[in-house]
Amino acid sequence: MPREIVHLQVGQCGNQIGTAFWNTMRKEHHIKEDGVFEGDKRKLKDKQRLDKVDVYFTETGSLRFVPRVVLVDFEPGTLDAIKSSPIGKLFKKDNFIFGE
């Protein structure tokens, strides 16, 4: 049974709350700010973290994960702030949508 979730965050408030959400999710799964898993997949605890990581994240490389999210705003300011934040490298650039 598929258990994948696509997260949609819209507007300044939605994007700020969403960024806090992703920061919490990456910490729970031991994913660094650049998307790389910081555990040892041979250990039981880390295996359990990786077992559920695909609910919100997509693996793009060897133990590198990207959130399954679309970030939308009318003005690029909020999205630019997210891109330049410490977890900005976590997101795919294609998932940022903005326009006036």
Rounded-to-integer distance, Cα 49 and Cα 41, Å = 9
Which structural domain range is residue 40 located in?
Answer: 7-98
In this predicted structure, what is the pLDDT of residue 39? Answer: 80
In this predicted structure, what is the pLDDT of residue 26? Answer: 93
- Does some domain include residue 36? yes
- Does some domain include residue 60? yes
- Does some domain include residue 1? no
In this predicted structure, what is the pLDDT of residue 2? Answer: 59
What does each of the 100 residues of the chain score in pLDDT, given as a tens digit? Answer: 457 888 999 999 999 999 999 999 999 889 999 999 998 777 877 787 788 888 899 999 888 999 999 999 999 999 999 999 999 999 999 999 998 6
Q: How many domains does the chain have?
A: 1
- Does some domain include residue 2? no
Rounded-to-integer distance, Cα 21 and Cα 19, Å = 5
